[in-house]
Amino acid sequence: MKLQPGLSAIVTGGASGIGEALSSALGKKGVFVTIVDLCEEKGKKVASMFEKDFKELYPNMKSPCSMFIKCDVSNHSDLVAAFRRHLDVFGGLDICINSAGIGTPVLFYKDKTDGTCSWRRTVHVNLMAVIDCTQLAIQAMQTGGKPGAVVNIGSASGIYPFPADPVYSATKGGVVMFSRALVPYKSEGIRVNVLCPEFVRTDISEKVDKKLIELAGGFLPMEMIIDGAFELIEDDSKAGACLWVTNRRGMEYWPSETEKRKYRINPLKPKALMHQSQYNVEIPNSFLKVIVRNLDHNFRKATEVVRAQLNYPIKSDHVVVKILYAGVNASDVNFTSGRYFGGKEASSTRLPFDAGFEAVGLVAATGDMVNDIKIGTPVAVMCFGAYAEFTTVPAKHVFPVPKPDPEIVAMLTSGLTASIALEQAGHMQSGQVVLVTAAAGGTGQFAVQLAKLARNKVVATCGGKRKAAFLKELGVDRVIDYKFEDVKAVLKKEFPKGVDVVYESVGGHMFDICLNALAIYGRMVVIGMISQYQGEHGWKPLSYTGLCEKILAKSQTVAGFFLIQYGHLYRDHLDKLYNLFSAGKLKVLVDPNQFFGPGSVADAVEYLHSGESLGKVVVCMDPSFSKQRAKL
């Protein structure tokens, strides 16, 4: 649902705190708002401010554009009257934000009463009224027959316990579970979600221990709450979603897909699995693939394109995948030089072996025991042997994906490395300075955008004007084009306190510059060292004299990251990247240079190492498929 002029909303607790901020932000989008609150004085004031601001922005819109209704949300008949009045005045209801909430008046540990004026009141206002309002909102939306969005304002204390006010915590936990359980309304276009902020400067947080708030990273900026609520309203895929907002971790959906899988009795099949196949897949008798014939860091010298037969019968738990797009990676040359199987000696015993790390394609055949993947399902594969027209892999290693597009290949090794490394090794938070090297490349483009989405200041290095322009388009705050500026001098002058997180992939001299630019407590994530991969005699390890002294003096961390060791996180992070991409929040650039068929892989690898590529380099394994796709 796009927030746009002419929609209408009810906001409970709209006279102060989060409710007031959300009412005013909705007004800026041209949404008519009914402010429902117990406090008449504040409510009327907010409504008249709203009216004034709204008319300035939208002078031609009809009046009234807002209304205040005094109402005790714990009183059912008051609420019924408030919803009826809203519908009479605005003719329908598109959005309902349930923000009214209180802290428990008498601390539970000291409460000797029967609870009527203390914890029972909290339960009535924070939980029962939210259920009541949600039900009234759903009924109004069903009557209107249009899509609707309900956002319940929960709390981080509804996700994990808040011993300072156990009853508050219990009510918010109830709001979280209630909202998450309402997914079935999505089929009617009505989406109920819950927003769970940590500490926000409102009347409720007045009584909270200030030290605790400091430990949690301080109060959350109200803009973050507004962004979160608007995301839940505007993103039509969100229903029963719980968006957790903290200063320490930014915005994240809770629980993660991994946690959800633990409790689902009948795991929901990924959407793609349930689709009838829309693609035709034919299996030829033989196919082409790239193999590593001898170990060499020169990809062209190491590899050969050969014709192979598909092995029948297919192993019972395997699938055959017709590869459409394979991803090219800087580390392909490390693979051909034998670094991936425990060094040269161990690798040479495996020769010849199949090359290529990642691809998207279509399931072409399945083994006897594979009954949950249909032929024709678009899948992503992250197994060795992707530089081929077909590959046979264990079914458990394929990820069903919505479309077999090159952008999805980019999300695999490149996107996953950025997403997982920044989280697991970089411990990236919000409000930090994040430096990304080789930022316009396959993985760099993801790192800069994820750092921006987490509300950081992003500094990025690249070589060339075309790349610098692309990075500016992605929202990078300071692009350093090393062909025109001295990276070391810029960092020293413009970031004298240093940078907090570095996503480093160039190595050599660039590693030194980044290390010297690291702030106190800074974390440098080493994901690669492309400048060292293809020396005359291959990759020679460097020694870094004084590294320990440097990081000791500033309590810094230099953390290594190798994607292969994080396979357990692939699905969650892939889902996250795809959701951001489909919501238009993440751009994925595939390099416009086209490479077709296994015979072009060596050209593509050399192109990546030329330093000229922009975004993700891919090889299309079946040019005729792009025509078939265009017709769909």
Q: List contacts with ligand NAP (CB under 6 A).
A: 329-331, 413-414, 417, 438, 440-444, 461-463, 467, 505-506, 527-531, 561-563, 608-609, 611, 613
Q: Which is nearer to ligand NAP, 66 or 613 (CB)?
A: 613
Shortest separation between residue 503's beta carbon and ligand NAP, angstroms: 9
Q: Which is nearer to ligand NAP, 385 or 507 (CB)?
A: 507
Nearer of residues 390 and 561 to ligand NAP, judged by Cβ: 561
CB of 617 to ligand NAP, least distance (A): 6
Q: Based on C-alpha coordinates, what's the Rg of the chain?
A: 28
Q: Give min distance, CB of 510 to ligand NAP, in A.
A: 7
Closer CB to ligand NAP, residue 537 or residue 627? 537
Closest to ligand NAP by CB, 10 vs 527, is: 527
Task: Compute the distance between CA of residue 159 and CA of residue 151 in angstroms, rounded to an integer.
Answer: 16
Dist. CA 563–CA 567, nearest whole Å: 7
Separation CA 590–CA 614 (nearest Å):
8
CA dist., res. 269 & res. 478, Å (int): 43
- CA–CA gap between residue 425 and residue 443 (Å, rounded): 15
CB of 426 to ligand NAP, least distance (A): 12
Taking the complex as a whole, how short is the minimal distance between the CB of residue 565 and ligand NAP, in angstroms? Answer: 8
Handedness of CA 124, 20, 227, 57 (dihedral sign): positive
SS3 per residue for 363-425: EEEECCCCCCCCCCCEEEECCCCCCECEEEEEHHHEEECCCCCHHHHHHHHHHHHHHHHHHHH
Smaller CB separation from ligand NAP, 195 or 330: 330
Q: How far is the CB of 555 from ligand NAP (least distance, A)?
A: 24
Closer residue to ligand NAP, CB minimum distance, 151 or 608: 608
Cβ 562 to ligand NAP shortest distance, Å: 5
CB neighbours (10 Å) of residue 358? 26
- Closest to ligand NAP by CB, 135 vs 531, is 531
Q: Which is nearer to ligand NAP, 111 or 606 (CB)?
A: 606
Closer CB to ligand NAP, residue 26 or residue 468?
Answer: 468
Name the minimum Å distance from CB 323 to ligand NAP.
18
Q: Cα(13)–Cα(197) distance, rounded to whole angstroms?
A: 16
| φ/ψ of residue 565, rounded to 5 | -80, 5
Nearer to ligand NAP, 440 or 513 (CB): 440
Least distance to ligand NAP, CB of residue 443, Å: 4
Q: Give residue for tokens 């409460």.
A: 111
Residue 525 class from Cβ within 10 Å (0-12 exposed, 13-18 middle, 19+ buried)?
buried
Q: Is 107 left (phi over 0), alpha (psi -120 to 50) or beta?
A: beta
Which residues is 34 bridged to in the sheet? 10, 67
Please tell me whether residue 179 adopts helix, strand or coil conformation: helix
- The CB-of-561 to ligand NAP minimum distance in angstroms stands at 5
| Min dist. Cβ of residue 505 to ligand NAP (A) | 3
Q: Phi and psi dihedrals of 93, rounded to 5? A: -140, 125
Ramachandran sector of residue 587 (left: φ over 0; alpha: ψ -120 to 50; beta: rest):
beta
Burial class (CB in 10 A: 0-12, 13-18, 19+), 276: exposed
In the DSSP assignment, the letter for residue 268 is: P
Q: How far is CA 132 from CA 73, 124, 157, 524, in A?
A: 9, 10, 21, 50
Q: How far apart are CA 101 and CA 129, in angstroms?
A: 9
Of the two residues 281 and 608, which places its CB atom closer to ligand NAP in the complex? 608
- Helix 76-90 with 129-144: angle, nearest 10 deg: 30
- Of 295 and 462, nearer to ligand NAP (C-beta) is 462
Shortest Å, Cβ 615 to ligand NAP: 7
- Tell how strand 286-292 and strand 250-253 pair up: unpaired
Q: Which one, 58 or 607, has the nearer CB to ligand NAP?
A: 607
Q: Which residues contact 339 (CB under 8 A, 6 or more apart)?
A: 347, 539
Residue number with CB closer to ligand NAP (33 or 563)? 563
d(CA 428, CA 502): 10
Strands 390-394 and 457-462: unpaired
Q: Please, what is the minimum distance in Å from the beta carbon of residue 400 to ligand NAP?
A: 23
User: Smaller CB distance to ligand NAP: residue 157 or 419?
Assistant: 419
Q: How far is the CB of 527 from ligand NAP (least distance, A)?
A: 4
Q: Nearest to ligand NAP by Cβ — which residue?
A: 441
Q: Cβ 481 to ligand NAP, closest distance in Å? A: 8
> 3-class DSSP state for residue 69?
strand
Q: In whole angstroms, how close is the CB of 511 to ligand NAP at the nearest point?
A: 11
The Cα 475–Cα 450 span in angstroms is 11
Phi, psi at 54, each rounded to 5°: -60, -45
Rounded to the nearest 5°, which phi and psi values hold at 175? -65, -40
